[in-house]
Amino acid sequence: MRIQRYSPILIVLAAACGESNSTDPDAGVSADSGVVQDAGFADSGVEADSGVETDAGVRSFAGLVVNEVAAAGSPDDWFELYNGSSEAIDLEGVHFSDDPDRPLRATFGAGTVIEAGGYLVQVVSDAEVGFGLGSDELVVIFDPDGVELDRADWPEEGSPETRSWGRIPDGTGDFMTLDTPTPGAANVANEPSECGNDLVEAREVCDGADLASESCESLGYASGTLTCNADCEGYDVSGCVVGTLQVFINEVTSTGDDQIELINLEATDVDLEGWSVTDDGWDPTDPTTDDHRYTLPTGTTIGAGGYLVLVKNFDHLFGLGGSDSVTLYDAADAVADTVTWATDAADPSYCRSPDGTGAFMTCAEQTFGAANP
| pLDDT tens digit sequence for 215-248 | 988 887 778 899 999 999 889 988 888 767 899 9
Consecutive H or E run containing 31: strand 31-32
| Predicted pLDDT at 28 | 33
| Predicted pLDDT at 57 | 57
Q: Chunked in runs of 10, what are the mean pLDDT values of the chain (373 residues)?
A: 34 44 42 51 36 56 97 92 97 95 93 97 92 90 96 89 94 94 96 89 89 87 89 89 86 96 94 95 88 96 97 95 93 91 93 95 97 95
What are the distances in angstroms from CA 364 to CA 248, 322, 342? 21, 16, 16
Looking at domain 9-178, which of 2.40.40.20, 3.40.50.1820, 2.60.40.1260, 1.10.3720.10 is its CATH number?
A: 2.60.40.1260
| Predicted pLDDT at 21 | 45
| Predicted pLDDT at 4 | 29
Environment class of 285 (CB within 10 Å of its CB; exposed 0-12, middle 13-18, buried 19+):
exposed
| Predicted pLDDT at 142 | 97
Amino acid found at 68: E
**Ramachandran region of residue 108, left (φ > 0), alpha (ψ -120 to 50) or beta?**
beta
Class of domain 245-363: mainly beta
Environment class of 9 (CB within 10 Å of its CB; exposed 0-12, middle 13-18, buried 19+):
buried
Q: Which of 275, 306, 280, 303 is nearest to 292 (CA)?
A: 280
Q: How far is CA 344 from the centre of its chain?
A: 18
| Predicted pLDDT at 20 | 43
Segments of the chain assigned to CATH 2.60.40.1260? 9-178, 245-363
DSSP string across 81-104: EEE-SSS-EE-TT-EEES-TT-TT
| Predicted pLDDT at 11 | 41
| Phi, then psi, of 287 in degrees rounded to 5 | -60, -20
